[in-house]
Amino acid sequence: MGGAISLLAVNFIVAQIFVVAFLIISVKSRSGRAAAWCAAGFAVASLSAICEAVLPFTPMPRLFAVGAFANVLAGFCLLRIGLGVFYSVPAKPPVLASFFIGSVIVDLFIYDLPRGTLLHAFFYQMPFFLIQAWSAAAIIRSRRRSYADGILLCMLALSALYFLVKIYAAVAAGSGATAADYLQSPFALISQALGAMLIVGTGVAMLGVVVKDVVDEARASSEIDALSGLCNRRGFSSRVVAPLLRDLSDHDVGTLILADIDRFKLVNDTFGHHTGDEVIREFSHILADVMPHRAVAGRVGGEEFAIFLPRVGLADARVVANGIRSELAVKRINGLPEGVAVTASFGVSAVAAGELLDAAMRRADNSLYAAKAGGRNRVECAEPPIRVIASADYHRSGKYRPT
């Protein structure tokens, strides 16, 4: 019995570590609600260790035996809620509550059945199998396919399989004549040892998924311009390089548009930086509204913007640029007097297969300069490159050095 008690203590301590870890994440991440549910799940499930440890010494073994069952199952149900929140595949509360209550009632009914029999083991272990399989199904339905999601899916599937195997193991190894005898049975030591490994494995996998989400969130935040809500220069570059690499064999990869708000310094000096910020925000809204699907837009300078249009030709990109220009010219912007309009100039360049982003940016910038020199509030297009030879480093890694 001492070995089983020791493993119960280990399981309890490990569960508390996960409780603390998920609680910390719950206040540090946008996945906070999901992490809070997971923390609650581990906290509730850990109470079963206390119930099982008390079983051999209490005059009310039924209460603590059913309590141990109910705590583990309730913890798993809370984890299912947390995973549902995280993966946007929620469990219906009435269904989950009915499942939990029904399972506890069944456990009460089978309490007096001979332990170590197939009938008792089947009805005792089946709810655990079903809830773990249900959690695994949530990941499958979410269609998220990162390595972290795959590992968690495997751990949940193993956990579900573990409870199926326990049906046979409880009969083969013997789980004691009564609930109070459980900790002295050969089955208890095996069950607690394997359970500890699965708790650790599943808990680490859940933490891995949530931490990955935190890291992705931080990385995304570092690539977004706070004022405009568009990509910053770094974010724009990272999002455009992937299509350029993917479409190396295509003749027309897409088109690049550079836009610069005309006389923006004069707007700031005359009407204040608050109005200048409002101009940036309104122009960004226009970009978001006019841009085609799958286009990438970024604020790459103070009043300079870049738009990448994948699989769009030069003529169509010119139409898009003129649409943006026209929208801005008639836009009423807070902070500007009636009749004062803001305009922008545009340089458009086709991006050829294998072309470095820097080269396309330079040609678009030259066209933008021509639009400025030609009177502003206009669109100029660059001549397409006759031939592009990408560097060996670009073909290997897609990396480049921003100008």
Confirm if 214 and 160 have CB atoms less than 8 A apart: no
Q: Is 217 a catalytic residue?
A: no
Q: Distance between CA atoms of 34 and 381, rounded to whole angstroms?
A: 49
More confident residue, 351 or 388: 351
Judge whether residue 134 has pLDDT over 60: yes
Judge whether residue 181 has pLDDT over 70: no
Give residue 290's pLDDT: 85
Mean of the pLDDT values across residues 295-319?
92
Judge whether residue 179 has pLDDT over 80: no
Q: Mind listing the pLDDT tens digit for each residue in 228-259?
A: 989 999 889 888 887 676 655 555 688 999 99
Q: How confident is the model at residue 55 (pLDDT cuts 50, 70, 90)?
A: confident
Q: How confident is the model at residue 82 (pLDDT cuts 50, 70, 90)?
A: very high
Domain ranges, ordered by start, for the chain? 3-221, 233-382
Give residue 211's pLDDT: 87
Confirm if 202 and 159 have CB atoms less than 8 A apart: yes
Mean of the pLDDT values across residues 323-340?
91
Mean of the pLDDT values across residues 113-125?
84
Q: Mind listing the pLDDT tens digit for each residue in 273-283?
A: 999 999 999 99
H or E segment and range at residue 357:
helix 357-373
DSSP bridge partners of 299: 305
Q: Distance between CA atoms of 145 and 161, rounded to whole angstroms?
A: 22
The percent of residues above 70 in pLDDT, for the chain, comes to 85
Q: Report whether CATH 1.20.1070.10 matches the domain 3-221.
A: yes
The percent of residues above 90 in pLDDT, for the chain, comes to 53
Q: Mind listing the pLDDT tens digit for each residue in 200-224?
A: 899 999 999 988 887 877 776 788 8
More confident residue, 153 or 185: 153
Judge whether residue 159 has pLDDT over 80: yes
DSSP bridge partners of 346: 259, 379
What mean pLDDT value characterizes the chain?
A: 85
Judge whether residue 2 has pLDDT over 60: no
More confident residue, 387 or 123: 123
Mean of the pLDDT values across residues 50-60?
81
Average the pLDDT over each of 46-55, 377-386, 392-401 and give the range with the smallest value: 392-401
Q: Report whether CATH 3.90.79.10 matches the domain 233-382.
A: no
Domains 3-221 and 233-382 share a fold: no
Give residue 192's pLDDT: 64
Mean of the pLDDT values across residues 347-361?
86
Give residue 41's pLDDT: 95
The single residue of 278, 282, 303, 355 carrying the catalytic annotation is 303
Q: How confident is the model at residue 176 (pLDDT cuts 50, 70, 90)?
A: low
- Distances in Å between the Cα of 291 and the Cα atoms of 15, 240, 288 are 49, 15, 6
Confirm if 335 and 274 have CB atoms less than 8 A apart: yes
Mean of the pLDDT values across residues 89-104?
95
- Distances in Å between the Cα of 196 and the Cα atoms of 189, 192, 193, 210, 384 are 11, 6, 5, 21, 64
Residues in the chain: 403
Residue 4 DSSP SS3: helix
Q: How confident is the model at residue 190 (pLDDT cuts 50, 70, 90)?
A: low
Give residue 394's pLDDT: 44
Judge whether residue 390 has pLDDT over 80: no
Judge whether residue 384 has pLDDT over 60: yes
